């Protein structure tokens, strides 16, 4: 049982909930950048939470089914077609042997998730099937999908068609986003003006936006003068190489803030001034180039409440689709 890749799409990888416990040796969590959408896709086809899905970036793949299967597509507005006939997003549907799944053009968001009943059957590496391309690990030979790849699917257990995620639980993909952050880490290196600029600018996402990091443009941040500490380096934005939190925002040389995502470089020598709160990381993952973003400061209590609200959304969806 499985699927043949006729066209791979722009950057399609196998992902799941991620790989934890190895960040200390430079292996980042990886996993779906939009975890809610990937969770929803699995629920729709009756898969367990840990099943692996396809993450498609901007342009979808073309897939030939060599056995019947139940499929769901969630996340970005990347409309699925079966044998060129439109199928709904956020809803499970059946495909037959010989059917071809392809996609229309992306209209909003950045990443769509395809779940197959049975889940994608590739070997786990360090407890996860997620692809980490920089480290050639997970997925199919640690790389993005290529034409001709064979995607093996697991045994099907309890799949069902016609399940749909209620409208109220579907994320929206506005063209202007507010991403909540907690200031901290090395934000004391910014001048008061630098800090105001960071929080007051409408940042535009550049095309340098991938699973490692999202690079924005819009202003230059002012750093305080200093005598560089031993080992840090001479640029005012340099620090002695340190760990980078997932979601942390570094600003090399004061220009172009970079939000690190789930394939993050695990550490380095650029000072981070803020971190995206856990609840808003999916929204970063759904940001396409040219989108406008404001970084909005929140405190720890607000971030924790947002995390609890998000967990409640996961629980509600699970009940709805039970």
Partner 1 sequence: MTGTASARYSFGGDDHVFVELDGEMSLTANFKAMAITQALEERRLDGVIDICPANASYQIRFDPLVLPPTDLVELLKQIESDVGDATDIQLDTSIVEVPVLYNDPWTHETLMRFRTHHQTPDSTDLEYAAEINGYTSVDSFVEAHSGSPWFTSMVGFVAGLPFLFQMVPRERQLQVPKYPRPRTDTPKQAIGYGGCFTAIYSVRGAGGYQLFGITPAPIYDPTQQHPDFEDFMVFFKPGTIAKLEPIDRAAYDRIVEQVEARAFRFKQRPVRFSLGEFLNDPDAYNAGLLEVLRGS
Q: Rule CB under 8 A: which residues touch partner 1?
A: 20-27, 125, 132, 134-137, 142, 181-182, 184-185, 229-234, 238-243, 245-248, 265-269, 272, 275-279, 300, 303-304, 306-308, 311
Return the closest-CA partner of residue 159 out of 121, 116, 129, 120. 116
Q: Please identify, using beta-carbon distances, which residue of 114 and 273 lies nearer to partner 1.
A: 273
Nearer to partner 1, 123 or 148 (CB): 123
Between 89 and 279, name the residue whose CB sits nearer to partner 1: 279
For partner 1, the closer CB: 103 or 263: 263
Q: CA 3 from chain center: how many Å? A: 23
| Closer of 107 and 136 to partner 1 (Cβ) | 136
* DSSP β-ladder status, 85-86 and 108-116: unpaired
Nearest distance, CB of residue 18 and partner 1, angstroms: 10
Closest CB to partner 1 among residues 108, 265: 265
Bridge partner residues of 82 (DSSP)? 85, 101
Output the smallest distance, CB 247 to partner 1, in A.
5
Pair 285, 15: CB distance under 8 Å: no
Q: Is 23 helix (H, G, I), strand (E, B) or coil?
A: helix
155 to 25, 47, 61, 66, 179: CA distances (angstroms): 34, 10, 23, 14, 39
25, 201, 306 from 145: Cα distances, Å: 26, 37, 34
Residue 118 CB burial class (10 angstroms; 0-12, 13-18, ≥19)? buried
**Shortest distance, position 313 Cβ to partner 1, whole Å:** 14
Residues 6 or more apart in contact with residue 123 via CB below 8 angstroms: 129
Rounded Cα gap, residues 238 and 313, in angstroms:
39
CB 165 within 8 A of CB 91: yes
**Which two tokens mark 47?**
């898969």
* Least CB distance to partner 1 at residue 198 (A): 16
Cβ of residue 153: shortest distance to partner 1, in angstroms? 24
CB of 123 to partner 1, least distance (A): 11
Least distance from partner 1 to the Cβ atom of residue 186, Å: 8
Rounded distance between C-alpha atoms, residue 275 and residue 182, angstroms = 5
CB-wise, 16 or 112, nearer to partner 1? 16
């Amino acid at each position: 049982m499985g699927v043949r890749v006729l066209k791979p799409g722009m950057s399609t990888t196998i992902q799941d909930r991620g790989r934890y416990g190895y960040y200390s040796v430079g292996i980042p969590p990886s996993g779906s950048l939009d975890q809610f959408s990937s969770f929803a896709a699995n629920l729709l086809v009756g898969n367990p939470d840990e099943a692996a899905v396809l993450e498609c970036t901007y342009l979808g793949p073309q897939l030939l089914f060599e056995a019947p299967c139940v499929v769901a597509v969630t996340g970005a507005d990347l409309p699925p077609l079966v044998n060129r006939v439109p199928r709904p997003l956020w809803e499970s549907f059946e495909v037959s042997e010989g059917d071809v799944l392809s996609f229309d053009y992306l209209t909003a968001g950045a990443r769509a998730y395809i779940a197959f009943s049975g889940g994608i059957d590739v070997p786990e590496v360090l407890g996860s099937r997620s692809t980490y391309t920089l480290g050639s690990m997970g997925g199919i030979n640690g790389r993005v999908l290529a034409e001709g790849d064979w995607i093996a699917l697991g045994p099907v257990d309890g799949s069902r068609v016609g399940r749909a995620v209620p409208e109220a639980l579907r994320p929206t993909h506005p063209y202007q986003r507010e991403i909540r952050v907690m200031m901290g880490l090395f934000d004391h290196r910014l001048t008061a003006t630098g800090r105001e600029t960071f929080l007051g600018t409408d940042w535009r996402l550049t095309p340098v936006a991938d699973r490692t990091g999202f690079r924005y443009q819009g202003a230059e941040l002012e750093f305080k003068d200093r005598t560089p500490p031993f080992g840090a380096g001479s640029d005012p934005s340099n620090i002695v190489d340190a760990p980078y939190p997932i979601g942390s925002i570094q600003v090399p040389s004061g220009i172009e803030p970079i939000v690190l995502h789930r394939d993050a470089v695990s550490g380095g020598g650029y000072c981070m001034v803020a971190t995206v709160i856990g609840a808003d990381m999916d929204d970063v993952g759904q940001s396409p180039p040219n989108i406008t973003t404001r970084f909005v400061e929140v405190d720890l209590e607000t971030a924790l409440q947002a995390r609890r609200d998000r967990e409640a959304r996961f629980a509600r969806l699970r009940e709805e689709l039970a």
